[in-house]
Amino acid sequence: MIGVLSSALLTALSMPGMFWGGLIWIALIPLLLDLQKGGLWKGTLKAFFFAYAYLMICHYWVLPVLSINVPEVLSSFPPFVGVLSFFLMGVLMAFSFLGFGFLYKLYAHKFSESLVLSSLFTASLFTLFDWLRSLGQLGFTGGSLADAFTNQKGLLQLSSFGGPYLLVFLVVFVNAMLAYAIKHWRKYKALFIFTTLSMIFALNMLIENFLPVPLDNPLYDKNIAAIQTNIPQSLKYNESPQEVYKIIEKTLEKVPEGSFVVLPEASFLYDIRKSFIGSKLHELSKERNLTLLIGFPTAEDGEKYNQLRLLGPDGFSEEFYAKMKPTPFAEFLPYPKLFGLFKFMRFLDFFSPGETPTVFEVGDQRIGAQICFDSYYTEVTRDLVNAGSYVILISTNDGWFSFRTGLVQHLSKAVLRAVENRRYVIQVSNTGISAVVDPYGRVLKRLPIASEWQADYVIGDFHYLPRADRSFYTEHGDWFVYVLIAIAFLMIVGGLFL
């Protein structure tokens, strides 16, 4: 188990906000060497414990959210439930790796005589089960090995062709090769390992140095006034919404007239369209010719949504974007017949998932907006780009997070989505990180977070260049996953006759 725990620690340390992404190229070696020992069930459990340990370590910041921050605001959510929820979350995230361990132990030895076939089988199998954990109502992509590429901008560009799972495959393939070389030390020697790693880092640096730099063009340059509020959850949930309105009113009086203004997710916790606050915001937008993109919950045709909606001089828009991936248990109850007892865990209310990738038209801007953890799911951004958006906007409320690590990991998903779809991505957050990312994954501008700037709000002037082209990955989606399904199937079937 030492190898399992070593790999778990190294993998966790390679995640954004932890230590250094370059560790990912050696992180899995102890695990793969350890998996070659013991029987079928022992190997199956080793794979699960690896995934459980590394996902718990890199998501350590969720524990105080669930056990301290949420109970302080919601009396219906006691601390012990938060602790229990955290450890159960790890089980759900790591569950699919039982399948990886099981099939690996059954078939990997059949390819043990070939460096390439052994590495291909291991990488294909691992990537497929990592993909499986993103599916369904409980799917989640936090802690993906692809996240380690956010500070390896050169190789990150591969995701515009094959998406994040091409990156996962590449990482596991290299780790499997190096583990094979260590096991067959007399044949491959240390030079093989040193050369392989040197080539990877050199290639990353080479590509990064030649990445295009989008040039400013006054004819096409667009700007967005990003309002990063620093409003604690206790104020939102327990105080009068007038207190929140006072803060937002101050910000709107300071942005230039005629601005397009983006506010964070759930700026208000109720439907403000026919309220006093809604009418005041409407008056302010008319006086200063502002168009706001603002988040608040609504009920439409009997369905409740966590949504974003435009508010301009003509009032609230009819069209809206509803969060497509509500947070399990906090915002919706997955598989009610199975998890019905957990409905008390909801934060504000249970919401229905959105079904339409709404693109907002503001003048000649086509804005593809999404909410919070929508950015963790590749298909949400891809659908928005395919629907015609020229820029991606992430409106989020990160007010629950106490540790910077959680904020960095959230922003890392914006970096991945930007490169995959070759779009500028702008994230606007409450208490979290608000930033603009270019189509090659470079963070061009970032606002100071609440711990760096003791103020109720920060206003950011974010510029971007609209893009209408589509990457190969945007057009074809997770095609690489289906290639891996075919490879794994053929190798398993072929292994039956070896």
Per-residue pLDDT, 73? 85
Average pLDDT of the residues in 244-256: 95
Q: Is the model's pLDDT at 1 over the cut of 90?
A: no
Catalytic residues: 265, 323, 372
* Better-scored residue on pLDDT, 103 or 73: 103
Three-class SS state of 327:
coil
Q: Is the model's pLDDT at 191 over the cut of 90?
A: no
- For 101-124, give one letter per residue: b (16+ CB within 10 A) or e: bbbbbebbebbeeebebbbbbbbb
What confidence tier does 451 reach under pLDDT thresholds 50, 70, 90? confident
Which of 149, 126, 242 lies closest to 201, judged by CA? 149
- Which H, E and C letters describe 421-436, residue by residue? HCCCEEEEEECCCCEE
What confidence tier does 219 reach under pLDDT thresholds 50, 70, 90? low
- In tens, the pLDDT along 25-71 reads 999 999 999 999 999 999 999 999 999 999 999 999 999 999 999 88
What confidence tier does 450 reach under pLDDT thresholds 50, 70, 90? confident
Per-residue pLDDT, 207? 98
Per-residue pLDDT, 449? 87
Per-residue pLDDT, 498? 64
Q: Is the model's pLDDT at 202 over the cut of 70?
A: yes
Tell me the pTM.
0.95
Q: What percent of the chain has pLDDT over 90?
A: 82
Q: Is the model's pLDDT at 345 over the cut of 70?
A: no
Q: Is the model's pLDDT at 103 over the cut of 70?
A: yes
* Better-scored residue on pLDDT, 73 or 136: 136
The two tokens of residue 292 are: 């706001």
Instruction: Walk me through the domains of the chain, giving residue ranges and CATH numbers.
Output: 2-211 (no CATH), 222-467 (3.60.110.10)
Query: Looking at this protein, which amino acid is placed at residue 21?
Result: G
The per-residue pLDDT of the chain, averaged, comes to 94
Distances from the Cα of 200 to the Cαs of 17, 172, 173, 262, 415, in angstroms? 22, 13, 12, 40, 21
Q: Is the model's pLDDT at 9 over the cut of 90?
A: yes
Average pLDDT of the residues in 148-160: 98
Per-residue pLDDT, 238? 86
Per-residue pLDDT, 162? 98
Instruction: In whole angstroms, give the CA distance from residue 379 to residue 474.
Output: 9
Which of 36, 140, 126 lies closest to 91, judged by CA? 140
Per-residue pLDDT, 239? 87
